[in-house]
Chain A
Amino acid sequence: MRVVKRTGLLMLIVMLMFISGTSMLFAKGTQEKQGAGGKKEAAAGKQVVNYWSRNGAPLGTVMGNMIKEFNKANPDVQVKMQIMTWGGEYYSKIRSSIMVGKAPEIFDVAVYAPAMFLKYVESYTADDLKQVGINTSDYLETTWKALNFGGKYYGIPIGVFPIGLFYNKDLFQKAGLDPAKPPTNRTEFIEYGKKLTQDTDGDGKIDQWGTMEVDWYNLVGWIWESFMVQNGGSLLNKDNTKATFDSKEGVEALDLYVDFIRKYKISPPPGNVPAAFASQKIAMSIDFIHGLSGFKGKVNFGVNRMPSFFNKRPHMSWSSMNIFLSPKGLRKDAGKWQATMKFVKWVMGTDFQKRFALEAGEMPSRLSAFDALKTDPLLGDIAGTLASSQIFFPPSIKDATQMFSIIADAMGQAFAGKGSSEKILADAAKRVDQVLAAQ
């Protein structure tokens, strides 16, 4: 009897522990409080602008340093930047802060994110854009298309970061390749890749690879999408209601991507690409261009536009964009709104845009600003990509993160050889259609 009683008590204890473990998550949402209260600054007559950023090093750190200069030059405004962990956690924090009315005055998001927040953030009128010094004709047309929802603009475009080609000049030279002429098309990329894939210590094993596929399958999906767009395909139909990536163009693009490992043997299995490039284990890396600041001083490298793996739309490359958003209702507090817009105007200025590109590797969103970078030895070619509109943004849909996960799963299956590209993409397209239908 005692044992039964004890076990009853035990059951009660463990169930209580279980309850506390799982269900607290959903009780009322996470109640966030802004990191900085800003009471001291407010008392000193300053308007405090809290800014949350999802960008760690290098973007976030460079931005943080530049904000110090802004604060010095603008004694009436104090921008308090807080860098958050990137990913779902970041968006969760923003969501819960919006729900409890504790959102920061301004936060940055990726290009596909405004669609998630439409009802809860401020839209910008033509007058607002004018106030922060934005002349819409000084931007790529696709920029404003990506931010336009129902005729209103949701977001201020801080900068763009397309996927580009990093190449190691020293390894090029050792392999007898001209370091001033990185590959510009599929044939060259594979040919260079083969020459750069070497057993350098003569132990019968490859220890230097031409390239490497990334183990972050979201990025794999975006690189594959670049190939597909170069081949004339698209991810979704024009009104974003149906997946179209299971097309012939999509299948050919995926086959080519997988063949870097299987057929051409210029890539090891997917791995940590930035680390492999920094340690000179790979000679070419297809990655976001803002990774370049991580290689400065470690590798003698160059960065170019994405090679043309297909010829229908040469060099086209998936690009993301950093965007400012402010929570709905901020406009009602005129002081806060004006202070926030003052900060935005400073960020959109030519000086900031150029410096941010050179120091952090994120390209400016303004045409006039990246035109000025065309002569830069490192960023010149990428600036040319932007100037000739060879970038595209992902579709702005509410459930973009879920769609990316489905595509990332498909990429993982393709690289693991779990079926033909046709079958894998067809299955993924059906799943994406379900997500789109539920929106």
Chain B
Amino acid sequence: MTKITKRPGLLRKRMTPYLYLLPFLAFYFILQLYPLIQNFYVSLTEWDMMNPQKPFVGLSNYKTLFFKDYLFWGSVGATLHYIFLNVPLKIIIGLALAILLNLNLKGKIFHRIAIFIPFVLNTAVVGLLFRWILDPQFGMFNYYLEKVGLAPQKWLLEPKWTMEIVVLVTIWWSIAFNTIVYLAGLQGIPEELYDAGKIDGCNAWQRFLHITLPSLKNTTMFVVIMQVIGSFQAFGNIYMLTGGGPLNSTRVMMLHLYQVGFYYFKMGQAAAISVIIFIIVLILTIIMLRLFREETA
């Protein structure tokens, strides 16, 4: 009898932590895991957004992307182009700004706010703003170039450097995120380490190289992973600035996904692109984590 009366209490004790987790798990399964599985299933179907049946076509959407879609590989190239420009620049500039903001300079708060302000702007606002600024006929940049006797430029209409311009605009808009993260990281480094470095005769560059950078390893790992994933997901800024043009030079994978899904209504193919992006990001994340882990060990 005693055992029987004890059991419900034991069960309750064991179940309590899981009950606390239940709301999160419910949301996680409904809003994230289920859509992920459903998304993979859609990638194996031919779905036009209207037919509730979603006919199963196996790997046909993947085959079409790899062997028939003349824009797919270009979009992979554009994505890599964007990542290789965006990620290193944002890390270097973000860190440099964080170091500057961490110094005891006059107007520190003002500068911090000034760097953060563009980040609160909506993507669409930034896109429209720079489209006007960079307009070859009526844009502000060309107006001032002509004022100082320089030739007007095509800016976003010139495929050779459109991606570079997109990246620069993106940096102006979103650099605050990396800066703030690095700033938090810098403020966590004990001052004693720098004092010890100074006593040992390290100059500023050596202190940066041997104290600051190693101390920011975890922060950098977080920033790199976030930036790589964020760059794979880049859409709004590019869509608003160039729409993927000119000549598809800025048509990144997310933009291609959007066009295939919401303009051509080939949701199966669009879902297949998202699965491919997911797999690439997963592999890259694992590789990056291993690299960081090895260095930490």
* Residue B187 interfacial (CB < 8 Å): no
Q: A203 CA to B229 CA in the complex, in Å?
A: 49
* Residue B7 interfacial (CB < 8 Å): no
- Nearest A residue to B254 via CB reads A22
What's the nearest-Cβ distance from chain B to residue A17, in Å? 7
Q: A409 CA to B244 CA in the complex, in Å?
A: 11
CB neighbours of B43 from chain A (8 A): 26
Contacts A25-B274, A269-B157 known; A418 to B38 CB distance under 8 Å? no
Q: A17 CA to B225 CA in the complex, in Å?
A: 12
- Do residues A26 and B157 form an inter-chain contact, with CB atoms below 8 A? no
Q: Which stretch in A285-293, A367-375, A398-406 binds the other chain?
A: A398-406
What's the nearest-Cβ distance from chain B to residue A39, in Å? 27
CB neighbours of A16 from chain B (8 A): 28, 32
What's the nearest-Cβ distance from chain B to residue A5, in Å? 11
* Residue A99 interfacial (CB < 8 Å): yes
Question: Which of chain A's residues 402-439 have a Cβ closer than 8 Å to chain B?
Answer: 402, 405, 409, 412-413, 416, 418, 431, 434
- Nearest B residue to A217 via CB reads B245
Question: Which of A27, A28, A279 is B138 in contact with, Cβ under 8 Å?
Answer: A279
- Do residues B229 and A99 form an inter-chain contact, with CB atoms below 8 A? no
* Residue A15 interfacial (CB < 8 Å): yes
Chain A: interface residue total (CB-CB under 8 A): 59
What's the nearest-Cβ distance from chain B to residue A423, in Å? 14
What's the nearest-Cβ distance from chain A to residue B211, in Å? 18
CB neighbours of B157 from chain A (8 A): 215, 269-271
- Do residues B31 and A99 form an inter-chain contact, with CB atoms below 8 A? no
- Nearest A residue to B54 via CB reads A29
Q: A3 CA to B254 CA in the complex, in Å?
A: 32
- Do residues A98 and B136 form an inter-chain contact, with CB atoms below 8 A? no
* Residue A89 interfacial (CB < 8 Å): yes
Q: A394 CA to B254 CA in the complex, in Å?
A: 29
- Do residues A401 and B264 form an inter-chain contact, with CB atoms below 8 A? yes
CB-defined interface of A3-41 with B at 8 Å, one 1/0 digit per residue?
110111011001111111111111111000000000000
CB neighbours of A116 from chain B (8 A): 265
Q: Is the interface of A mostly helix, strand, loop or mixed?
A: helix
* Residue B261 interfacial (CB < 8 Å): yes
- Do residues A22 and B274 form an inter-chain contact, with CB atoms below 8 A? yes
- Do residues A27 and B265 form an inter-chain contact, with CB atoms below 8 A? no
Contacts A4-B293, A92-B49 known; A281 to B137 CB distance under 8 Å? yes
Q: Which stretch in B86-94, B115-123, B168-176, B277-285 binds the other chain?
A: B277-285
Question: Which of A14, A24, A89 is B35 in contact with, Cβ under 8 Å?
Answer: A24
* Residue B246 interfacial (CB < 8 Å): yes
- Do residues B138 and A18 form an inter-chain contact, with CB atoms below 8 A? no
CB neighbours of A92 from chain B (8 A): 49, 262, 265
CB-defined interface of B249-287 with A at 8 Å, one 1/0 digit per residue?
000001001010111110100110010011001100110
Q: A341 CA to B51 CA in the complex, in Å?
A: 27
Give 7 CB contacts A-B under 8 Å: A19-B32, A19-B278, A96-B49, A271-B157, A401-B263, A405-B259, A412-B246
List of 5 A-B pairs having minimum Cβ-Cβ separation, nearest first: A88-B263, A27-B35, A95-B49, A23-B39, A26-B39
